Structure 1
């Protein structure tokens, strides 16, 4: 065993109860929500609650309403560009760029372009994927658009999301 150096700490032993997580496309949950399609690729169960990963397909005009939550959120844009609003200031985020939203900060993202956006979202700690699974509707693939809800269905969906939001440490806002 190597000698400990001043200021270093030992790495804990391997937790043999944790298994390798492999998300196969054919078995991942695809969720339609706010006109977007979110695919949960890594769950909190896979990471002992440390983080979750969501592959997001955001069509033109898509994106959630202004909101905030008490966990960190990082978006890595793979394709397209979108408008991100952070504490009321709008910026354009393009493919190849990464944006990290601090916990509790008001924000939103909106696809104002004519092309779909694909991005990876990492939430830390995990939990957001459970909110999406509980509020959204299952869809067939990563790019399948969710069914267009009627006005009454949209109102019911928003009511459900607002009722569940506190359980998932999320708050919907009027302005981001």
Structure 2
């Protein structure tokens, strides 16, 4: 097959709205999360053995990367190197939508 398409499906009320995609399951070389968080939500501090790229689509996020903190807004793109502890949190008043691109065909994540 030359291509695959995964159609969006609305989550049930008891399901998280964040979508996890691992490329290896679909013939792809990257993995990603389509994050959809409420204010105050975000992952705990963690690391990956590869770089991660974030593209903020909606809302306001505070990113912690190593000892540094920065705010990001719609249209901003951030990149963190491999093995650097990082996290983000929705610090806005509305929903946060971020695309988290993992430079790996599978997601490898260790919480610290």
Query: Where on the TM-score scale, by shorter chain, does this alignment land: which range?
Result: 0.7 to 0.9
Q: Which runs of 4+ in 1 moved over 6 A?
A: none
Structure 1 unaligned residues grouped into runs of 5+: 1-17, 129-167
Match of 1:94 among 55, 68, 73: 73
Structure ranking higher in strand proportion:
2
Kept in 1, the 8 Å contact 2:50–2:102? The answer is yes
Kept in 2, the 8 Å contact 1:88–1:107? The answer is no
The separation in 2 between residues aligned to 1:43 and 1:27, in whole angstroms, is: 21
Match of 2:38 among 53, 59, 67: 59
Alignment of 1:1-176 (within 5 A): 19-26=2-9, 32=16, 37-40=17-20, 43-48=23-28, 50-128=29-107, 168=108, 170-173=109-112
Instruction: Give the C-alpha shift of residue 105 in structure 1.
Output: 0.7
Residues paired across the two proteins, number: 109
Instruction: Give the C-alpha shift of residue 126 in structure 1.
Output: 2.2
Instruction: Give the C-alpha shift of residue 27 in structure 1.
Output: 8.7
TM-score, structure 2 as length reference: 0.84
Higher Rg of the two aligned structures: 1
Structure ranking higher in helix proportion:
1
Higher RCO, 1 vs 2 (CA within 8 Å, ≥6 residues apart): 2
